[in-house]
Amino acid sequence: MEIGKELESILPKDRIKTRLIDLVSYASDAGFYHLQPKAIVLPQTELEIIRLFEFSHQNSIPLTFRTGGTSLSGQSITDGILVDLSQYWDRVTIEEDGITVRVQPGVIGAMVNARLKNYKKKIGPDPSSINSAMMGGILSNNSSGMCCGVVNNSYHTTKYIRFILPNGKVYSTERKEDYGRFEIECPEIYEGIKSLRQSIVGNERLTALVRRKYKTKNTVGYSVNSFIDYNEPLDILAHLLIGAEGTLGFIAEAVLNTIADYPYKATSLLYFQTIYDACQAIVPLTVAGAEAVELMDRASLRSIEHIKGVPEQLKSLPETAAALLVEFQDNSQDELKSKVDKFLAVSSGISLINAPQFTTNQTEQDFLWKLRKGMFPAVGAVRASGTTVILEDIAFPVDKLGDAILDLQQLFTEFRYDNAIIFGHAKDGNIHFVVTQAFDSEAEIERYDRFLNKVVELVVNKYDGTLKAEHGTGRNMAPFIETEWGGELYEVMKQLKSVVDPHNLLNPGVIINADKKAHIKNLKDLPQVEEEVDKCIECGYCEHKCPSRNLTMTPRRRIVVRRALQNLKKSGDSGSYQQLLQEYQYDGLDTCAVDGLCATACPVDINTGDLVKRLRRENHGDFSNSIALFSSKNFTTVSTLVKAGLTIGDGVNKVFGKTTMTNLTGAIKKVVPAMPLWSEQLKVSNSASYKNKSIQLDNGTVGVVYFPTCISRVMGASVDGKKNTIEAFMSVAHKVGITLHIPEEIEHTCCGQIYSSKGFAKAYEHKSNEMIEDIWRWTDGGKWPVVLDISSCTYTLHHCRSVLTEENKRKFDKLNIIDSVDFLADYVLPKAQIVKKKKEIVLHPVCSLQKMGLVGKFQSIANQLAESVTTPLSAGCCGMAGDRGFLFPELTKSATHIEAIEVKCKEYEGYYSSAKTCEMAMSEAVGKNYESIVYLLDECL
């Protein structure tokens, strides 16, 4: 059957993905298993979900639901139909003044917390992947995390659930009438759950076993504690869905009880001589009231030593050392200090290497948590190329943790896992360990199998621990559920699956799996690919940052496809290789904004844009490279021609109507895809605004060299008749008495961004060197700072050093190149007299500000000039990428969609950013005029 055609009876064609590139790119999640789906579908409504269940049953094709794809045990991949919920299921509703929150499965956990922040609340589960993991996965895996323990995990904080069963029936525990309806409409499931409940509560030994097992974190198998926590079959089933990994039904919506988000926190990284010593500090810290106690062994600390900003002491620790990341939290400074002092009073009796030092600085705290939360991907990134990363998740009674870890380390030695590392939530006795190995031979697979069986024996039989504390059973531990729970409770789980999903078509092979070797089948291969991305372990932390995520691909999926191409090449499958390569051109290369925000979310700073730039370079022939280099050397002519074209286009609009050029270029683009699309935001700058404005600076003059970027010089005019960008910039400087020097003969200048992003290496190299030589001359050898009025141009110059000549590198190192945001915050506002303030304004921090760490400064400027300042929670890359939005307008439309919806919810007095082309993209999306923040100062000073 042609599954894509068949599915069109349920969904429109544009929400069904069956191309080779789609099937390949969705075959991986964050775990170490690999299955290629038959199709990917993106439903929007519950009715479509119900019809997908019907389709699954009629055609005996499995369904698997997936949100963020950050699961680690193989539970979000399939060889059936993959149902992607990440795009259309992202509604969040704050209720009861933040006491509860209503969520859909496709909203990111951190976004829910951001919405709750004003209420001083947060959701209970706090997994390290919360910035990327979505609520569907957080609920379906019964996520816990750093601070929530066993009390505030997904299971215990879920109040109501709305769900769809495989039979297509929809129920909500929020609706009283659904309890009776469930009994009438689903008698077999209703009676089956009652019977299974009785088999547990009627057996004191089983009841005691369940109670004991859930005193520690436990996500092995189904949440059988629901059988003794609840009486009504609908309540039992609803809470069985928490942790069921999408094998029993579809969670359409959930209402969660929130917990306090303490405003005051004190954080410290404590070092110990041995990991055993660190474990002995857990109880004193817990007694003192620590919310988080995170354990890291020496090997895991070594994996993050390279990260800029890590404490110097960490790099010189002895080989036996370990660390605890500790955090105290409370509602007041006094109460927080009391907790810290309580621990410090007993700290002398603990074998610490360093005297405890706690920080209350949020930036420092965030950095420490970034190190800890990124530890798994960071460890994976230092693996040997071609090996796979395996993360296991176990828990022991806290009083046995030190001994258990020592035994575990002996197993590492026995099975030659020399680079294995250990970290985790020590307060709960929950540790994660990472090993890396290749799965390229039967001997290697057999080694892992023997090792894992020894781990199972150690955890279950010797220490009475749990095999999966929070990462879910998946395919990874499915063969060992009976080992942990015993035959009777495993039989309960099997019967539960059978009665709810009798055809075994909902995420089959996950949790209940008769194959005792399931954990060593369908293993993921991570072949060596390009050096820019070879460290990637496909964790998916980057995906929510990507502007093309809802249009074509994400950084993770771009890398997955590059690895698939490598495997196809090795296997000699030239047909599939060529097809995939052809599809990659648009999805992987053309629609990548190369904005680099993926690197800000990546624990090992992988910038997939660097890979895309290189691939673009390799795609260019000699002729196109020579044309680019010629334009770079003759940029004055280029900018003159662009200006002429814009002037003609503006004239056409004036004569035939303001949408004429948009319609005309749109029509041409259908025939000639390379045709840029006209924007109503395009307005030609008047060159008189910057010519003949030069003021010669000397040693007695306090001034700044102002470099009006080519974008401002060509298209910096305001759409509403105000001053152009350059005039506004000079006006602001004049008002505070700052002398601006605009160099002469500036028409030939450009930062080189256009050549860099398009992969024209020689043209970029030429322009960068020319630019540094110009700035060196303008600033008299670096005596004065030079300021740019477009943030992306500033960022480009900041990062051009690698292509400079040795002489220009020495010059570059002495230059002070600052952004307009730096200039306004550090030079202008300290001297300014603010004569009025705006009431409410909204900001769009461009990618470059985020990468340069200037978002806080950008917001600070606005806060001084407006009574209320909003930065949208969904603010991200607009996808404009210089000119990419003109060439692929669908990219900017997709990238700005969510932010535009958020901004349109209310009216603002002003809309501000710091890069002209990004302002154009946001203006198109929101229908309001975004302009440089320079205009805000010009109006308020």
Nearest to 794 by CA among 723, 731, 853, 879: 853
292-297 β-sheet, strand order: 264-272, 322-330, 292-297, 421-425, 430-437, 388-395
At 306 the pLDDT is: 79
Crossing angle between the packed helical segments 761-778 and 791-798, to the nearest 10 degrees: 100
Query: Quick one: which H or E segment has residue 481?
Result: helix 481-485
Rounded to whole angstroms, how far apart are CA atoms 336 and 359?
A: 12
Question: Can you tell me whether residue 145 is helix, strand or coil?
Answer: strand
Q: Which of 290-304, 687-701, 881-895, 902-916 has the highest mean pLDDT?
A: 902-916
pLDDT bin (cut points 50, 70, 90) of residue 660 is confident
Three-class DSSP labels, 697-737: CCCCCCEEEEECCHHHHHHCCCCCCCCCHHHHHHHHHHHCC
Say which residues have a Cβ less than 8 Å from residue 843's Cβ, sequence separation at least 6: 858, 859, 862, 869, 870, 871, 875, 912, 913, 933
At 594 the pLDDT is: 92
At 403 the pLDDT is: 94
**Least confident piece of the model among 200-204, 438-442, 934-938:** 438-442
- DSSP lists the bridge partners of residue 63 as 81, 506
720: number of CA atoms within 13 Å, CB side?
8
Say which residues have a Cβ less than 8 Å from residue 568's Cβ, sequence separation at least 6: 576, 577, 580
In this structure, how many other beta carbons lie within 10 angstroms of the beta carbon of residue 745?
9
889-932: pLDDT as tens digits: 999 999 999 999 999 999 999 999 999 999 999 999 999 999 99
**Least confident piece of the model among 139-153, 168-182, 678-692:** 678-692
Say which residues have a Cβ less than 8 Å from residue 922's Cβ, sequence separation at least 6: 844, 878, 896, 899, 900, 911, 913, 930
**Least confident piece of the model among 499-503, 506-510, 611-615, 683-687:** 683-687
At 658 the pLDDT is: 81
- To the nearest whole number, what is the mean pLDDT of the chain? 92
For 590, counting Cβ atoms within 10 Å of its Cβ (0-12 exposed, 13-18 middle, 19+ buried), the class is: middle
In this structure, how many other beta carbons lie within 10 angstroms of the beta carbon of residue 61?
21
Q: Annotate 624-687 with DSSP letters as a single string.
A: HHHHHHHHHHTHHHHHHHHHHHHHHHHHHHHHH-TTHHHHHHHHHHHH-TTSPPP-TT--PPPG
Pick left, alpha or beta for residue 850 (phi over 0 → left; psi -120 to 50 → alpha; otherwise beta).
alpha
717-754: pLDDT as tens digits: 888 878 899 999 999 998 998 888 898 888 899 999 99
Angstrom CA distances, 321 to 55, 273, 296, 427, 898, stand at 56, 4, 9, 19, 46
Sign of the torsion formed by the C-alpha atoms of 297, 300, 304 and 306: positive
**Terminal C-alpha separation, the chain:** 69
pLDDT bin (cut points 50, 70, 90) of residue 690 is low
230-257: pLDDT as tens digits: 999 999 999 999 999 999 999 999 999 9
Ramachandran angles phi, psi of 503, nearest 5°: -90, -5
Q: Residue range 589-611: average pLDDT?
A: 91
Max CA-CA distance within the chain? Answer: 93
Angstrom CA distances, 315 to 309, 318, 321, 788, stand at 11, 9, 11, 38
Q: Residue range 757-774: average pLDDT?
A: 94
At 663 the pLDDT is: 84
Angle made by CA atoms 534, 537, 543, in degrees to the nearest 5 = 100
Ramachandran angles phi, psi of 477, nearest 5°: -110, 5
Contact yes or no for 52/64 (Cβ under 8 A): no
Sign of the torsion formed by the C-alpha atoms of 680, 682, 688 and 689: positive
Whether the per-residue pLDDT at 468 is higher than 90: the answer is yes
Rounded to whole angstroms, how far apart are CA atoms 154 and 125?
A: 6
476: number of CA atoms within 13 Å, CB side?
32
Whether the per-residue pLDDT at 91 is higher than 70: the answer is yes
pLDDT bin (cut points 50, 70, 90) of residue 650 is confident
Whether the per-residue pLDDT at 547 is higher than 70: the answer is yes
Whether the per-residue pLDDT at 669 is higher than 80: the answer is no
Whether the per-residue pLDDT at 297 is higher than 70: the answer is yes
Whether the per-residue pLDDT at 697 is higher than 60: the answer is no
At 687 the pLDDT is: 66
Contact yes or no for 694/742 (Cβ under 8 A): yes
137-164: pLDDT as tens digits: 999 999 998 888 899 999 999 999 999 9
Nearest to 470 by CA among 432, 496, 436: 432
For 189, counting Cβ atoms within 10 Å of its Cβ (0-12 exposed, 13-18 middle, 19+ buried), the class is: buried
Whether the per-residue pLDDT at 872 is higher than 50: the answer is yes
Rounded to whole angstroms, how far apart are CA atoms 921 and 890?
A: 11
Ramachandran angles phi, psi of 394, nearest 5°: -130, 165
Pick left, alpha or beta for residue 705 (phi over 0 → left; psi -120 to 50 → alpha; otherwise beta).
beta
**Least confident piece of the model among 109-123, 148-162, 674-688:** 674-688
Q: Which residue has the tokens 């976004």?
A: 111
Whether the per-residue pLDDT at 205 is higher than 90: the answer is yes
Q: Which of 257-266, 368-377, 657-666 has the highest mean pLDDT?
A: 257-266
pTM over 0.85? The answer is yes
pLDDT bin (cut points 50, 70, 90) of residue 700 is very low
Crossing angle between the packed helical segments 574-584 and 555-571, to the nearest 10 degrees: 160
Whether the per-residue pLDDT at 806 is higher than 70: the answer is yes
Q: Which residue has the tokens 């689903």?
A: 186
Contact yes or no for 3/37 (Cβ under 8 A): no
Question: Can you tell me whether residue 820 is helix, strand or coil?
Answer: helix
At 659 the pLDDT is: 84
At 381 the pLDDT is: 65
